Structure 1
Amino acid sequence: MPTHPPAADQDGSPPDSIGLTTRYPFVLPRGYVDEQGRVHRDGVMRLATARDEITSQSDPRVRQNPAYLSVVLLARTLTQLGTAPGVDTLVIENLFASDLAFLQDLYRRINQDGHTEADVSCPACGHGFAVDIAGDAPGES
Structure 2
Amino acid sequence: MSKYVRWANEHDAEILTVLNHEFNGVELTADEVENSLSSTNELIALAILDDQPVGFACAQCFKSFCYRDSQGEITEMYIKETARRKGLATLLLSFLEEELRKRGATEIKVITGMNNAAALKTYERSKYVKKTYVVFQKKQ
TMscore range, shorter length: under 0.3
Q: Normalization by structure 2: what TM-score? A: 0.27
Q: TM (normalized to structure 1)?
A: 0.27
